[in-house]
Amino acid sequence: MNLIVDVGNTYVKLAVFEEDSLLYVVSVKLISLSENLENIFKDYPNISRTIVSSVGRLDNESIKKIAKRTQLHELTSSSKTAFVNKYSSPKTLGVDRIALAMAGVLLYSNKNVLIIDAGTCITYDFVNSDREYLGGAISPGILMRYTALNNLTAKLPLLDKKHTEDFIGNSTETSIHSGVVNGVCTEIEGIIGQYKSRFKDLTVILTGGDTHFLSKRLKNTIFADSKFLLKGLNYLLEYNKH
């Protein structure tokens, strides 16, 4: 069994895989990671390998605890991958984007794949049919856009994300919702269009925390998979067996 530890800035996703089958997944606050790890090791005593992907910060105590129980692989730019990394600065490529590209290559072999991860940031990662990672884009996520409008202006309120019936906002609140949500959807559709104009037979994957919220609004044919990153991390762990 494999344990996946995906560390964000505030939350950590923990998942247990048996080969390709996802048995368990939970999202916990970083401060409660140690307790949750103990529960997982108790419930799944056959875990033998762990991969840690740390976009945020993971304390040394947690790392040591995992390393005592299992064979540990910390994902870095030096980890082996099933694709050729053509990013001009490969060492700066985020480990989350490496995992997404890995999932794209292995789940959609020999296809042109655009992976859109809609979370804190919206990242776009492209792998071509020759298994070459070419790069992509990074833009502010939905929550970041709402927060920026509130923080960087004097009077605009901080709102929770919400779909609007019409793209023409007739109040401050509906104008903000339209600007953020309609703006994000229009951005995504436009970027998909750019890739489609250059690459034939494009497969588009939507993942991340806002997957279900956005998938209802997007017109392009996409495959929504909120567990795509976890699958990529599991593949990376298997690919980097000692």
Tell me which residues are annotated as active site.
96
Decide the pairing of beta strands 49-54 and 223-224.
unpaired
Question: Among 141, 151, 107, which residue's Cα sits nearest to residue 127?
Answer: 107
Does 44 carry a binding-site annotation? no
Give the count of alpha carbons within 13 A of 18, CB side only.
5
Does 125 carry a binding-site annotation? no
Distance CA 153, CA 155 (A): 6
Which amino acid is located at 10 in the chain?
Answer: T
Question: Among 90, 118, 145, which residue's Cα sits nearest to residue 205?
Answer: 118
Does 120 carry a binding-site annotation? yes
Distance CA 131, CA 42 (A): 39
Does 196 carry a binding-site annotation? no
Does 96 carry a binding-site annotation? yes
Does 16 carry a binding-site annotation? no
Does 95 carry a binding-site annotation? yes
Give the count of alpha carbons within 13 A of 210, CB side only.
25
Does 172 carry a binding-site annotation? yes
Does 7 carry a binding-site annotation? yes
Distance CA 59, CA 168 (A): 47
CB of 75 closer than 8 Å to CB of 233: yes
Q: Which residues of 126-151 are buried (b: 16+ CB within 10 A; e: fewer)?
A: bbbeebebbbbeeebbbbebbeebee
Q: Positive or negative CA dihedral for 216, 218, 223, 224?
A: negative
Does 81 carry a binding-site annotation? no
Does 117 carry a binding-site annotation? yes
CB of 78 closer than 8 Å to CB of 128: no
Q: List, as residue ranges, the binding site for substrate.
A: 87, 94-97, 172
User: From the annotation, which residues make up the binding site for ATP?
Assistant: 6-13, 120
Annotated binding-site members: 6-13, 87, 94-97, 117, 120, 172
Cite the annotated binding site for K(+) by residue number.
Answer: 117
